[in-house]
Amino acid sequence: MKNPANHDSTLDTACVHAGEEKLEARFGLNTPVITSSAFDYTDGEVRYPRYHNSLNHQVVAAKIARLEGAEAGLVTASGMGSISAVFLSLMKPGDHAVLLDGLYGGTTDLVEGLLTPSGFRFSIWDGDPDHLDSLITPHTRLLLVESPTNPLMTIVDLEHTAAIAQQHDTVSVIDNTFATPVVQQPIRHGFDLVVHSGTKYLGGHSDLLCGALAGSKELIEHIHPTVVRLGSSLNGQDLYLLERSLKTLSLRVRQQSANALELARRLDGHEAIDEVLYPGLPEHPSHTIASGQMKGFGGMLSLRLGKDRDPTRFLDALELIRPAISLGGVETTISQPSRSSHAKLGDSERNRLDIDDHLFRLSTGIEGVDDLWHDLRHALN
Ligand SMILES: Cc1ncc(COP(=O)(O)O)c(C=O)c1O
């Protein structure tokens, strides 16, 4: 496996060991799975799984915090559990937030279906740092971005963006699901808070639904009561599964990034492809910014099939790469955003975002890159 020159090998160690508790020898090396939902309270400690204070929760939350370079973390039952807790703990009706254009559909649905009708107010930012200042008002409580974005793989300049939010005393939040802390640690670039759909790369095996938050101790303690009230807690078995998955996060994501870069380069020259969207390609409009803030460029890439090609025939011809909603697993999957993540948008919104049936999103797995290329080339031809 290629090791990018700027690879941080201490992260490999943190994936395996951060957060672990050294228990008595009889428990062995792994964290025991605590299945109890009832605990003796007479020692003065109030323990209950929904309060996020079980051993399994503490170990995995500490590991994620360490990986993100944060003081503290929280694990939730889904990515949306984390995202909704962020909005509901940092804002009240009447407050305002700035959202990057084209956020994950579930986040947009939360904003449009629940928060806006409840009196929360939002502005959409086009990602240009020069346009951000004018969107922030005295009522703005938070800024939420993703980088890279789904599925167009646009990049936000993290340092510049975080600095503008900080000047306005606005909490800067990033959904780091696509990049993972292996590829980018936004807190080190000045962001206040990181959220994850842990269902994707953190879980990494397409068998776990979970979410996570990481930030300062003060912010996490502020969000904690909302997470408890919303009831977005993960059970002991799934917390253990997440801890186990995180031990190989760095290995997996480095292989996924290397595969994605190689596939992006090969796809880029193919006559059936109009465009490859991947920040690791020199012609990506934000390649220089991405190179400065990412270690490797992640496992997600998008491609636009030539207009003379039939998208359904291409999809049907793939044998190894399977169509799937969700991403970040060890297996390579493909999705057509116009029919999956962005299917609910109207035609005009999809046209505005330039998402049509010829656009495909690839979540690159850890398989041999030549086998993946063979499958893609066969389907393209
Ligand atoms: C970028 C991003 N954020 C958040 C979510 C929501 O996560 P979950 O499905 O774990 O609630 C998703 C799910 O696809 C996602 O892709």
pLDDT at 5 over 90: no
Q: Which domains does the chain have, with CATH numbers?
A: 9-246 (3.40.640.10), 250-380 (3.90.1150.10)
1: pLDDT confidence band, cut at 50, 70 and 90?
very low
> What DSSP string runs through 291-334?
HHH-SS--SEEEEEE-TTS-HHHHHHH-SSSEE-SS--SSS-EE
Scan for tokens 């579930």, then name that residue.
106
Dist. CA 259 → ligand 1 center (Å): 23
Scan for tokens 């606005």, then name that residue.
170
2: pLDDT confidence band, cut at 50, 70 and 90?
very low
Please report the atom of ligand 1 found closest to the CA of residue 199.
Answer: 10
**Residue from 80, 176, 180, 230 to probe ligand 1 pocket by mutation (most atoms less than 8 Å from CB):** 80
Please report the atom of ligand 1 found closest to the CA of residue 150.
Answer: 1
Closest-CA residue, ligand 1 atom 13, reads: 197
pLDDT 10s digits, 85-116: 999 999 999 999 999 999 998 999 999 999 99
Residues 187, 68: Cα–Cα separation, whole Å: 7
Residues 352, 30: Cα–Cα separation, whole Å: 50
pLDDT 10s digits, 117-158: 999 999 999 999 999 999 999 999 999 999 999 999 999 999
Q: What is the pLDDT of residue 3?
A: 45
Residues 180, 198: Cα–Cα separation, whole Å: 9
**Residue from 86, 177, 325, 342 to probe ligand 1 pocket by mutation (most atoms less than 8 Å from CB):** 177
Q: Is the dihedral of CA 311, 304, 186, 160 positive or negative?
A: negative
Closest-CA residue, ligand 1 atom 14, reads: 326
Dist. CA 258 → ligand 1 center (Å): 23
pLDDT at 4 over 70: no
Dist. CA 191 → ligand 1 center (Å): 19
pLDDT 10s digits, 6-51: 567 899 999 999 999 999 999 999 999 999 999 999 999 999 999 9
Q: Which residues contact ligand 1 via a Cβ below 6 A?
A: 78-80, 104, 106, 146, 150, 175, 177, 197, 199, 209, 211
Mean pLDDT in residue range 190-208: 98
pLDDT at 220 over 90: yes
